[in-house]
Amino acid sequence: MISRRQLIDQIKQKKSFLCVGLDTDLDKIPEFLKAYPDPIFEFNKRIIDATKDLCIAYKPNAAFYESRGIKGLQSLISTYNYLPKDCLSIIDAKRGDIGNTSDKYAQAFFNEDASGMSFDAITITPYMGSDSVTPYLAYEGKWVIVLALTSSTGSKDFQYLTTNEGFLYEAVIKKANTWAGADRIMYVVGATKSTEFTNIRKFAPDNFLLVPGVGAQGGNLEEVCKYGMNKDCGLIVNASRSIIYAGNGEDFADAARAEALNVQQQMQVELEKAGVI
Catalytic residue among 94, 104, 175, 226: 94
Query: What are the tens digits of pLDDT across the range 1-20?
Result: 899 999 999 999 999 999 99
Burial call 142-158: b when 16+ CB within 10 Å, e when fewer: bbbbbbbbbbeeebeee
Report the pLDDT value the prediction gives residue 193, as an integer from 0 to 100: 73
**193 is an active site residue:** no
Residue 104 near residue 115 (C-beta atoms within 8 A): no
Low-confidence residues of the chain: pLDDT under 70: 215-219
Query: What are the tens digits of pLDDT across the range 197-230?
Result: 999 999 999 999 999 977 655 568 999 999 999 9
